[in-house]
Structure formats: structure tokens, C-alpha cells
Amino acid sequence: MIRFTVPSVQLPSLLAIGEAMNELEPDVYEGPRPRGDGFVCDLSRSDVWSDHLAAMKRFLERHQRALADAAGLGASLTIDVAVDGDDQARVKYLLAIHVPVELVTALAAARVALEVSLYRG
């Protein structure tokens, strides 16, 4: 998922950006977070890392304008990759996440952070 968060004074402007995103990709924006500090967009539901990488890259390319507008509001933009216990149980090593330089470059250009969350099984 990608998380867009702002101070409450900027929330109406950020939500308008989210609504405009639906014009490019229907239902990518589903409304504000319950915390009232922004919104999230799902990027991939796949169990395959390469699918997640492709989805991140596609989102960054497709929504360049929205990301720039959100950054202009001072929004915090973070792609959060969740690794749950079932995912961890399928591998022999603790964790290795490869992020291709092309994606790192795209993340930096869009001012989007990458966060990896590990959950216990």
C-alpha cells in the first residue's frame, strides 16, 4: 500500500487529490483513513515480490501528478510493504528484499519513502 498523510489543515486538499486519482484509475482512492490524517491506496495483493515491484512502479508512473501535488502540500508519502508471518515461514533466510535501482530512482523522484513492516505469525 501507499500511505498519503498530512496535517489536518491540509486534509481537504489531499482528499481532493485522491478523488482526482480515480479519474486515472477507478477506485484506487477509497476515501480517508479512519485516523483522519490522509488515505491509503492498495498496490498489490499478490504473494509474489516481483508483482509488488511492478505494482509500485506502475503506480508511481501512473500517478506522478498526484504524488507531486501531495508532496507540494507537505504530505508524507510512504509505500509500506507488509511481510506477515506466513510469508516469513516460507523462506529459509530471515529476510532479503531486493529493490531494483529503477524503482529506487522512481521513489526518490516522487519523494516517496519505502517502509517494510514485519509481522509475527
How open is the CA angle 45-17-9, to the nearest 5 degrees?
115
Tell me the pLDDT tens digit for each residue of 40-72: 999 998 888 889 999 999 999 999 999 999 999
Q: Where are the alpha helices (DSSP H) in 27-92?
A: 49-62, 64-72, 85-89
Tell me the pLDDT tens digit for each residue of 65-92: 999 999 999 999 999 988 766 655 565 5
pLDDT of residue 97: 79
State the pTM of this model. 0.86
